[in-house]
Structure 1
Amino acid sequence: MSNNNELIDFLSLRELFLSDDRYFIPVYQRNYEWQERHISQLLNDVRDYYLEEADKNYYIGTLIVNRTKNSEYTYNTFETIDGQQRLTTFNIIACALKFSLENENLFCKEFNSFFKQPILKFESRIFADKTLNQLHQFGRINPDFSNANTKMSEGFEIVKDILKSIEDDFKTRQTDRSFSGYLHYLFNSVILTRVQVPQGIDLNHYFEIMNTRGEQLEKHEVLKSRLLSYLSSDEPAIREAFNKIWEACSDIHNYVQTHPNFSTDLRNKIFGKKWFSFRPKNYQSLFLNFKGNNNTEIVISFNDLVHDKSKTSSINYETKQNQELDERDNDRFHSIINFENFLLHALKTYVADDLIKNISLDDKRLLTNFESYTKDMSIEEKNRFSKKFIFHLLKLRFLFDQYVLKREYANNKDHWCLKMVRYYMKGENGRTNASFNYVNTFNERRFSTLHNIRRSLHDETLILLSMFHVSNPTVIYKNWLFAVLNYLNEAYSYEPLSEEADKPNGIELTDYRDFLRDTATHFLGYRYLNEQPYEYDDIIIFDMDDCAYATNWKNYLRYGNIRNNLVFNYIDYLFWLEQPTKRKDFEFSFRSSVEHFYPQNPMSDKNKIVDKVLDSIGNLCLISASKNSSLSNYMPKAKADHYKDSNSKESIKQLVMLEILTTEEEWNKSQIKDHEKEIFEKIRIALNCI
């Protein structure tokens, strides 16, 4: 579909592949770098639009090109200037579908009618060209991937896994939408806007313009503007406090207590003298703490607060009263979520139970979610909502920082951590100056008799949190995180702490650990291992005692039927729980590819086993796509030799299978069936299944 402007075309993916146009990626462009989170977001975003607005096109972005003349080709050629990551991904998706679409899928015939070959070439990158051609011709069945582009081959595996997950999701939904309908929508209603730069343009000048475009307001800034507009012009102090709190909360990677918007006195009032408790019980008491605590005498208007960053930054940072904040390391911690998604969790934990299902955990819906919630409110109700919400936001951000894992980067290493900020006054424990440090959230004095058991509980809590996160690595639709934040918000205790208290008492460790255990078993029992899966919100909010639990659960522990990576990661957790000391160095990582330990397609046909036992949980584990692409056709002993010389162990279940192989000196049907029985028994006990 061409626009009146000859330089702009609106192309569906089907039209993109049907046309005679070809695209090449110039050598100055960076290599293909998309990871699972990028591919997952693209495919899942399309699914969401298909489910909600199937009658409308989804405009996925812009492809900026420069039309070139090349006597080598008989078709139109375009140099790709911007959008090559997305364009490469579309080609990988098409290659993956060529080998994963079943004939009975209603979209299969249509797909084969328009996809004949990739429409992409890479300038001076023979390995990238070779990889794409191999994926198109052979898929992943014994392809020649020597010197391949690993990101592209990994992307192929990731696409297949995500599409399988989406297909399974449609099977469980009570809707007239289908997976074949989704694929039809993907290729016919997803529109790419192709923009040709004018002939003869100076491309260097064009890049300079592209890189110096003014920044647009982000959605959370628009939302802040709207919520501030609900506050009366007669409340300048409250508006200023609102702005300070919002800016502190938006600094998502650093602990909220350390933000320079808060003076020392203000921190003591809100977070206690040691910074690890939350004192205000409502928005009235929160705003009272700001009275007389202005860092500056600057008076600003509402427009200044929202639009003039130079003035707000003077309030935020001009008077940095606390020298100890010089110690704040902005790159040490990394949050598992961005601020816009955190705002959605804040709204979802704020609203009444009967409205929770109306709040989507997708940041594309940030503004519409808030609009829907406030549209029928009076002026007074909107005013009160803004005040109550900013209180709730700060409390939830404090709980998020203190009781939800982060990624910590220190001493040239990175790992999951569950830490809190602890402030030490001058003279405390012999300190010559006041300072703060990051310590384990559930901490005991080193010589306490409770130290070892609390350390064990702390480790298990961190393992459970990281298990949930790596099973759902995208920042959207973190239903487990909603469950956690909802629990923390309701369970937090305001019991006062003594001045000598060395740890917070707001959340009890054993109760929190038990809640995480229960959430995992409920997700499996009511959703992933259940013939009729329940919605996440129902599982999290409502009493499920009278609902069917884990029906025909063994059917969902087979290759092709496993609905979520949490199934694999939960099995790893159960093995870890048996021997936490032996497995103390284990850490959950982002893995998305299912490995058959005994291969489906061994390099030699004489080793091939044609038996459904290969697809049982006893022969499967979860590993990274790169490992699976390089080792998938190796026999178990060859894999064992590889891992023996490698520091990388992909999963505890994989280690267990390697240990069985070492002990019994073989891995065949017998070992697979025995290991399957072992897994079944662990799941049965953990979930209390029949």
Structure 2
Amino acid sequence: MTHDGAQDDALRPELLAIGKVFDGRSRYLVPIYQRNYAWQAEQIEQMLDDLWDAKGNYYFLGNLIVTRSQASSAFPVYEVIDGQQRLTTLYLLLRGLEHHGHTGCLQYESRPRAMAALDHIAQAPSDLAAGEPPAEDHAIWQGHRIIKQYLARHLKSQNEQKLYRDFVLAHTQVVRITLPAKIDVNRYFEIMNTRGQQLQQVDIVKARLMAHLGNEVERACFAWIWDACAQMDAYVQMTLSRGNTELRSQIFGKDWSFLCLKDFDDLLECHQNIHSGQTHSEPTSSRPSHGYGALEIDAAIEAYAKPTGAKEAQDENAARFQSIIDFPFFLLHVLKLIMQEGASENEGILDDKRLVKRFDEFLEVKGRDKREGARQLVFHLLRYRNLFDNYVIKREFIGATDDDGDWSLRMLKKDKDSFQYVNTYPATENNAPDTASLRLLRLQSMLRV
């Protein structure tokens, strides 16, 4: 890329201070196939500590990989290929430092919740106790809150805040690498490393599938479903329709237990209704995940046999879960079911290192329309995830304790204006699980990965 904006085939690295990255002119667009903002306190505070320890010197924060958008614009628009977590954190840090010269420079493509949070934060809200609005991105609001609290601990005066802001703007640097216009971004994904770790294959698969969709509306709907299914430690009804009970009823029926839509077009209509304001929301919050304990399966069965009594959950924080497999393995299971490959024993081995290759093979099946293949796949991904939640055991953590948790086999059901988690297979009169439950629990205890 030349300095006047013309495209060429050269890789263009530029060492830039943060003040030049957020110069009031450049716009950064996080494409829809990228993950949502996901940094938590550990990553955010580590970056802030590094900056704090370096103040007074220069600090290099790493690479920002971008491509120059071909869309016509009065200002340069860069699509962010790698570095969006740091870029978003820097944006939130500058907002926390009351630097107003970069409003509107960061955008998340087709993600209204993320954009609503960024726009709201850009209006300089200072009341942390008020919490985030229910229709806005929780992770971004949480990042904003963590940064504000960190700054309140370290900066005791307006002068200290100004000195620290000047350090971040002038002495903190990144290398912004603009990829050639004709580069195969998917291929770049496969060879790119971020601090020694290869980009996750699930992100490559997501990008390749979305590339075959017909328009931005379909891509936004695809990402909405994919991202909800990727959160393996919560029931998909919660992640897909967080805080929106009317939408939950449209997708999962009046009792919220099973997917009742028939295809991707039905989901597309629901997704468009969210943006048009035809569904209504209620406040919710997110749920953390926890590690496995060491309960024996026989003890889990005994615990499962006990009657549950009162409601298991009145809100989304009352019960937390941990899946026995992670999302890449779940994707491979889903793909195997779709392609009906159960006939051969050799085909039964699922290797997450071959995730990209397996999905490429799926798309290249002779006669398959790739756009329709991507649409059908993400619909079945949601369908099987719903069944997985209902019929595969998981660790369940009740309340706010961080103990080992219990094995549970429950489904989510609506209960008046709330919901509860009920046993998938009710106990018999003598409080023992029925034969089917015993067999399922014993079989699925062997699936731990």
Structure 2 length as normaliser, TM-score?
A: 0.44
Structure 1 length as normaliser, TM-score?
A: 0.30
Q: Which has the higher helix share?
A: 1
Q: Which has the higher strand share?
A: 2
Larger gyration radius, structure 1 or structure 2: 1
